[in-house]
Structure 1
Amino acid sequence: MSQPLRRATLIACSATAVLGLAACGPDNANPSATAAAPTASAGAASSTTPAPGPAASTAGLPNGNKLNAMLLPATAMPPKFKLDPNGSQSTGDDVIPPASPSAVPTDKACDMLNGTGWVNSAGIIAASFAKNNYADEAQNMFAQELDAYRGNDAQTVMANLKKTLTACHTYTVTQDGQNYYATVTLQSLPGVGDEALQAVITSPEWTGGSTLVAARVGKVVVATYDNNQSNTGIAGVALTKTLVKNAASAH
């Protein structure tokens, strides 16, 4: 029996919901996949509550327009990749009001790993952001997002993402009425920004896989999602390193 071809994921729920630019619902992460209960070891994420939010000051933080200028252009993308206009969003000159951190239940956090807005599984709202994604006709996708956070929120985001990816080491994805067991392989990326991590999501029942990268540059978190139907999307790591350099040079 041939392996099922995974569907490209859609734009997942993002901080845009705060500005009324996008609806935030359980189906945004992947229209055909919802995560079932993870293994027992995943309980750590559901019991992890983010630290109280810091002061609301946005002094020195780049706004959405500046973050958008740091995103990689179409010329940096693989051949045949085209910009998805529906996936291009930013806060522009606006600032998202501060909000109390909200821990994401483990099952929902694992499910969010199947979408481009996976950084939101950290449960922290950014002050400003910019994002877009590119895809080809084979449904391969590279999504990039830059989020600027108040106070020490960026460090908290990285810590929470690591906890989530560790808790979701194995989890179940239900697609078209069938269950698929996915595995998350997590590792650090030394020398990329102030701190960085990489997670590869695969399943013996899938074709291809996804590579997620998060890197912190000061108070900015770079998050990318590379979904590939023939390999694990590892090419996205190199693109992310370039994106991190863009963010660092703008400081």
Structure 2
Amino acid sequence: MSQQLRRATLIACSATAVLGLAACGPDAIPGPAAGTDGLPNGTKLNAMLLPATALPPKLKLDPSGTKSTGDGFNPPISPSAVPASKACDMLNGTGWINAAGINAASFAQNDYMDDSQDMFAQELDGYRGNDAQTVMANLKAALTACHTYTVTQNGQNYTATVTMQSLPGVGDDALQAVITSPDWTGGSTLVAARVGSIVVTTYDNDQRNTGTAGVDLTKTLAKNAASAR
């Protein structure tokens, strides 16, 4: 597979346009850190990410994929449904959680790659209220709707298939989705796990297999998130 799309930083207003969410402006911000009592900020979430020593030695940190909300929080923004066609496209990138259409209050992420463009991306998002449960429901709906979809890379169209299953015993709710195509070498495994108000997502793209090693790595991430509660 070719290099996958990257997540845009969600600090304040930068990525909300991708999801069709309400535009940011003075009237759209109800107050700093509204509804974030007890929610970890980006700095704390960043400390929960897996270190390089936990990953295969061939993968090296890509500084351009390291982002977080730092010590602050994103302002509350009304959710907006993501069209199915856009949601399917989002599954081919490190920020595939955006397919849920809900802005996180805080997040931290980083990406690891090798020379063959194999990739492991990890992300932790903190949500207000019951948004984390809604995110998981929306991701399941998007993955179901995108069971078979078209991927366009370098001007060529490919048919991709999504195979989703639940992951019992991982956090409060978890799923695994494997994306393959007869025209690709290898594939990608996407994992999402909710731990309270935190949603852990990973994206493992591998040229030799389907990236299922990301499942065990996600389980460790979920344990990190649980220990912080």
Same topology, TM > 0.5: yes
The C-alpha deviation readout for 1:93-113, integer Å capped at 9, x for no partner, is: 111000000111110000000
Matched, 1:184 2:162: yes
The C-alpha deviation readout for 1:63-103, integer Å capped at 9, x for no partner, is: 00000000000000112111000100000111100000011
CA contact (8 A) 1:195 1:216 kept: yes
The match for 1:169 is 147
Q: 1:152 aligns with which of 130, 141, 154?
A: 130
Matched, 1:99 2:77: yes
CA contact (8 A) 2:119 2:204 kept: yes
Q: Which runs of 5+ in 1 are unaligned?
A: 1-5, 27-54
- The number of aligned residues is 216
The match for 2:105 is 127
- 1:7 aligned partner, one-letter code: S
Q: What CA distance in whole angstroms lies between the structure 2 residues aligned with 1:101 and 1:110?
A: 18
CA contact (8 A) 2:9 2:68 kept: no
CA contact (8 A) 1:12 1:112 kept: no
Matched, 1:13 2:14: no
Sort the Cα spacing of 1:157 and 1:14 in 2 relative to 1 into closer, same or farther, 3 A: farther
Deviation at 1:14, TM superposition (A): 4.6
* Paired residues for 1:40-51 under 5 Å: none
- 2:151 aligned partner, one-letter code: V
The match for 1:143 is 121
- 2:58 aligned partner, one-letter code: K
The match for 1:199 is 177
- 1:218 aligned partner, one-letter code: G
TM-score of the superposed pair, with normalisation by structure 1: 0.83
The match for 2:29 is none
Matched, 1:77 2:72: no
CA contact (8 A) 1:13 1:120 kept: no
Q: What CA distance in whole angstroms lies between the structure 1 residues aligned with 2:18 and 2:136?
A: 23
- 2:157 aligned partner, one-letter code: N
**Could you say what the CA RMSD is over the residues aligned between the two structures, in angstroms?**
1.7
What fraction of aligned residue pairs are identical, expressed as a percent?
Answer: 74
Q: What CA distance in whole angstroms lies between the structure 2 residues aligned with 1:136 and 1:242?
A: 22
Sort the Cα spacing of 1:25 and 1:163 in 2 relative to 1 into closer, same or farther, 3 A: closer
Matched, 1:115 2:115: no
Q: What CA distance in whole angstroms lies between the structure 1 residues aligned with 2:100 and 2:123?
A: 14
Q: What CA distance in whole angstroms lies between the structure 2 residues aligned with 1:23 and 1:195?
A: 25
Q: What CA distance in whole angstroms lies between the structure 1 residues aligned with 2:143 and 2:183?
A: 20
Q: 1:217 aligns with which of 178, 190, 195?
A: 195
Q: Which runs of 5+ in 2 are unaligned?
A: 20-32
The match for 1:249 is 227
Q: What CA distance in whole angstroms lies between the structure 2 residues aligned with 1:152 and 1:178?
A: 40
Deviation at 1:199, TM superposition (A): 0.2
CA contact (8 A) 1:199 1:212 kept: yes
Q: Please give the secondary structure, in 2, of the residue aligned with 1:65.
A: helix
Q: What CA distance in whole angstroms lies between the structure 2 residues aligned with 1:179 and 1:19?
A: 32
Q: Please give the secondary structure, in 2, of the residue aligned with 1:15.
A: coil
Deviation at 1:25, TM superposition (A): 5.5
Q: What CA distance in whole angstroms lies between the structure 2 residues aligned with 1:100 and 1:56?
A: 13
Matched, 1:68 2:46: yes
TM-score of the superposed pair, with normalisation by structure 2: 0.90
